[in-house]
Amino acid sequence: MTKKTSVLFVCLGNICRSPTAEAVFRHKALEAGLDIDIDSVGTHGYHIGSPPDKRSRATGEQRGYSFDGLKCRRLDDEDFVKFDYILAMDSSNYDNLLKLCEDDEAKHKIRYFLDFAQGDEKEVPDPYYGGKQGFELVLDLIEKASDGLIKHLQSQST
């Protein structure tokens, strides 16, 4: 039996951007009929065990995404073994991931999530200290990159 493709979304706190990416990508993968293991983590452990930020949740739920059951988890060494795609939201997450990954063979799995959006932006900006507009922008970028990632995975399986 072949192993399911697996995708891990990574941000700093795992309460705003990466759980939003998890919720959106779960929804879109299901709609596309793709069976993928999906999870999200933070590079830091400020909020371990907490549900996603209320502002992220409200913004995402308005667009029809479910955040039920999501809880903050911190990245661990096993994640570099388990996941096929390890997708950073910004350059700080990306640099941290490369530093924390001790297996040179696994480093190719680490990429920017917005590589799949094929737009001009490289990073999903941290919305934590800003206003509602920041959370809407996070969702716009994540929806676009999720659509691109779905297309990429579909092209890999044909």
The footprint of ligand 4NP (CB under 6 A) covers 11-17, 46, 126, 128
What are the backbone angles phi and psi of residue 146, rounded to the nearest 5°? -65, -45
List the catalytic residue out of 39, 53, 79, 126: 126
- Which residue's CB comes closest to ligand 4NP? 13
Apex 65 CA angle, 89 and 121, nearest 5: 30
Least Å distance, CB 13 to ligand 4NP, is 3
Give 26 or 53: the residue with its C-beta nearer to ligand 4NP. Answer: 53
Least Å distance, CB 141 to ligand 4NP, is 12
Whether the Cβ atoms of residue 127 and residue 151 lie closer than 8 Å to each other: no
List the catalytic residue out of 16, 17, 73, 90: 17
Positions annotated as catalytic residues are 11, 17, 126
